[in-house]
Amino acid sequence: MKGLDSFNLDIKKCLFELEEFENLLLNNKELKESKDILPFFKQRLHLSAFIGFYVPQIIRFNQIKHEFTFFGDFRADLAIGDSVNNTYCFIEFEDATEDSIFVEKGRSTSDWSPRFEHGFSQIIDWFWKIDDFKNTSLARSIFGSENIEFYGILVIGRDDFLSEVDKTRLKWRLNKVLVDSRKVICITFDQLARDMRDRLSLYPLIYEAESEAEQNISTDNSDLS
């Protein structure tokens, strides 16, 4: 059983791929998992890897694997890791259609959709499987450590298909529901694009601050000489 592949994140390439993602969302009202979403992300490794920013302990984004298999039984659409911090997140992509998250049942409050419950249950099974195999030599052969930290992300649906009440319900579930004391992040594809844009917008500020600091050090050294 193979582990994740080594990877080096390129922020410039990630920004370019994010623009492609934003255009995909702009030009398509609905997206299907197998037809549209999985092929798109498989061809954009830098964008895929950067999804790991939702996990604070993932700093390096130095491991990645599409269609990652959990000990032979379950498969995540995407796995991202930081091999130094031994932290990983496993991602399930689902359809981005009108009934992906909620379905109308003739009541005032819509029901959680079978698609959403399927995706969420997938992540629960992943957590169970990892917990069952942790502290084993097989876990070490896959992750390089017998003890890892891990998180789950479910990306599903579109903002335009959600009422304000349903958005509140989704946010509540994101903030309140824990699986084995771990939060499962549940977001729409639109939210994913916005969050990535916001996070990537900080990088020029970081580079600017680092450049300014280097110039100050250089000036200080010149003064000393």
Which DSSP string do the residues of 194-205 spell out, in sequence order? HHHHHHHTHHHH
| pLDDT-based confidence at residue 207 (cuts at 50, 70, 90) | low
Instruction: Give the length of the chain.
Output: 225
Q: What is the pLDDT of residues 30-43, one digit of tens each?
A: 999 999 999 999 99
pLDDT for 159 beyond 90: yes
Q: How far apart are CA 113 and CA 66, in angstroms?
A: 25
Find the mean pLDDT for residues 61-82.
93
Q: Please report, rounded to a whole number, the percentage of residues in the chain having pLDDT higher than 90.
A: 68
115-124, 178-187, 216-225: least confidently modelled range: 216-225
| pLDDT-based confidence at residue 118 (cuts at 50, 70, 90) | very high
Q: Indicate the SS3 state at residue 105.
A: coil
Q: Which domain holds residue 163?
A: 5-224
- pTM value? 0.88
146-150, 151-155, 185-189: least confidently modelled range: 146-150
Four-point Cα dihedral 199, 97, 151, 203, nearest 10 = -10
Tokens matching residue 138: 């097989």
Q: How far apart are CA 75 and CA 83, in angstroms?
A: 20
| pLDDT-based confidence at residue 3 (cuts at 50, 70, 90) | confident
| pLDDT-based confidence at residue 83 (cuts at 50, 70, 90) | very high
Q: How far apart are CA 53 and CA 11, in angstroms?
A: 12
Place of tokens 């998180």: 151
pLDDT, residue 16, reads 94
Number of domains the chain is built from? 1
108 phi and psi angles, rounded to 5 deg: -70, -25
